[in-house]
Chains A and B, each alone.
Chain A
């Protein structure tokens, strides 16, 4: 199963107004080509996308927040899984694209003994699954978006063969500005409450 195929299906399914946090690098470059507009926060470096997405759930508690995470990134700060389980947000869908490799620089630990779903379970995350086919992916994502609660899905994909260098417009400050513009238009933007 290829990551891009999963993301293409995901872009056809996930509502346009979903708040998304995407890790570097393949997730961000691919998702930014599929969803260049809207509340998509790209380019979150090693270990940062999951806790950032968790923070977004606190700001947007009524809609789903989608976290596009990857195996190398999650392993870099697996303590965030403990925080995730403890906060246990009702509106977060975490998709960990596990290609068992550091881009083209060789295997990660999930190619050997590490099992991210079991690590998440050990941290206390309740609703977990490991997905290995397109059918399981569609079913798992639909269930996650249609039900209340935290969903943590490890998606086993092939190592990426293309070098994914995203458009600079989708990183850093320009991306941040577009993200803020998008979320400030939402009726549930927290800053509006704070201004009242």
Chain B
């Protein structure tokens, strides 16, 4: 992710009052989470597993904190148990920023079979988990998408995801 996308996301998170950022570091979003970690506005937490990251966000969110979980498609798969509970059982708002690994344009060097698997499972998994999502692949749409996702997340009382791809991510 380049610095323009990083700047747009950080500015919008601040405008939206999202100040708790949880992640398990992954390459495409590392520039974002590293910039957030160095910004005193944010509380930044690194977790050892995506499932416990989602639940950490859920506990904080139900206590009124606005948080975002930053992950990739692998993390989405690992966290699916926690997301099913958070969204479908309890209805807790957790905003998800997900690097869309495997989407067309991913030239990151991961073997093609892995990329294809990510592409094949990502959106069906979000649909199975009943998580509303939007693909954001234009920088011009990033700020508004983030604002709308954050609003929808709290309005629905459910996890909402933005799949970052295209010029936003690569």
Which A residues form the contact surface with B (CB < 8 A)? 19, 21, 41, 43-48, 50-60, 77, 79-80, 82-83, 86-87, 172-173, 176, 179-180, 183-184, 189-194
CB-based contact A58/B65 at 8 Å = yes
* B20 CB within 8 Å of chain A: yes
Q: Which residues of A contact B17 (CB under 8 A)?
A: 194
Binding site secondary structure of chain B: helix
CB-based contact B52/A83 at 8 Å = yes
Cβ 8 A contact of A176, one of B43, B56, B59, B90 = B90
Q: In this complex, what residue of A is CB-closest to B43?
A: A58
- 5 A-B pairs with least C-beta separation: A55-B59, A59-B63, A191-B64, A190-B64, A51-B52
Q: In this complex, what residue of A is CB-closest to B17?
A: A194
**B2-10, B81-89, B110-118 - the one binding chain A:** B81-89
Given contacts A79-B49, A83-B49, contact A59 B65 (CB under 8 A): yes
Q: Which residues of A contact B65 (CB under 8 A)?
A: 58-59, 190, 194
CB-based contact B52/A189 at 8 Å = no
User: Which B66-80 residues have C-beta < 8 A from chain A?
Assistant: 66
* B92 CB within 8 Å of chain A: yes
CB-based contact B20/A58 at 8 Å = yes
Cβ 8 A contact of B59, one of A52, A184, A194 = A52
For the complex, give the distance between the alpha carbons of A48 and B62 in Å: 14
For the complex, give the distance between the alpha carbons of A58 and B61 in Å: 9
For the complex, give the distance between the alpha carbons of A180 and B20 in Å: 19
* B45 CB within 8 Å of chain A: yes
Q: Which residues of B contact A82 (CB under 8 A)?
A: 48
* B169 CB within 8 Å of chain A: no
Q: In this complex, what residue of B is CB-closest to A21?
A: B59
Cβ 8 A contact of A80, one of B48, B62, B89 = B48
The 16 listed contacts between A and B (C-beta, < 8 Å) are A19-B63, A44-B55, A45-B81, A47-B52, A47-B82, A48-B51, A48-B81, A51-B82, A55-B59, A55-B61, A56-B59, A58-B60, A83-B56, A173-B91, A183-B63, A194-B65
Given contacts A83-B56, A172-B89, contact A77 B51 (CB under 8 A): yes
Q: Closest approach, in angstroms, between the C-beta of B125 and any C-beta of chain A?
A: 19
